[in-house]
Amino acid sequence: MKPEFWLERWQNNEIGFHQTEINVHLQDYWMHLRVPAGGVVFVPLCGRTRDMTWLRAQGHKVLGVEISPIAVRDFYAENRLKAQTKTQPPFDRWEADGVTLLRGDLFDLSAGDLKDVVAVYDRASLIAFPADMRQRYVRKLAAILPPHVGTLLVAMDYPQGEMPGPPFSVSEREVRDLYEPNNRVELLHTRDILDENPRFRARGLTQLVEKVFYIRPNG
């Protein structure tokens, strides 16, 4: 999706993808990554998710990237944090209490931006992209992340023809095609959550399976 799509969604408050509660899978499976205290966790397309406050409470530093200035501003406001801001083209950098958000396009990130990252938490990034951009996204992160960085990935799998994304359907087969053979892909959790999400049933879905993966580089 083009940046303008997400900017318009935030501008119009069309943010059904935003979760008001901390993601249960993050809490249940984060331990698998064995992230050291003080390590920097990268959260792509972070929005204003409260998951970042949970990661910070575990003793990690957080680095997010987000296209919407509304989302970035609201994150700090909702958490009563007074952020220091400065412009470092191509990003505006916001920082407070160990949470740094880069306001700009994820595809403008460089290896220097992510040089201190030790883990990735992806709940809303991979599934935000159509198929051709998913390949570009995975290649981009592989090129700029430090070696040996593991990822906790939350994906949705549903009959794509029943509903236009985003969120887009990403099957386990596609996850493996995207990340293997350079990584080990471990399926940690799978469950049909359609009954818990009537808005998706209203959009025509007959099945909505949430899957959680632990992705770790080989070697």
* Tens digits of residue pLDDT in 181-200: 999 999 999 999 999 989 89
- Cα distance between residue 85 and residue 160, in whole Å: 40
Report the percentage of the chain scoring pLDDT > 90.
87
pLDDT score of 18: 45
Whether the predicted pLDDT of 6 surpasses 60: no
Residue 190 has φ and ψ, to the nearest 5°, of -150, 135
* Tens digits of residue pLDDT in 41-60: 999 999 999 999 999 999 99
Whether the predicted pLDDT of 11 surpasses 70: no
Those residues whose C-beta lies under 8 Å from the C-beta of residue 199, and which sit 6 or more positions away, are 16
Instruction: Name the CATH architecture for the domain at 3-217.
Output: 3-Layer(aba) Sandwich (3.40)
Q: Which amino acid is at 135?
A: Q
> Where are the chain's structural domains?
3-217
pLDDT score of 115: 98
Mean pLDDT of 62-76: 95
Mean pLDDT of 89-98: 97
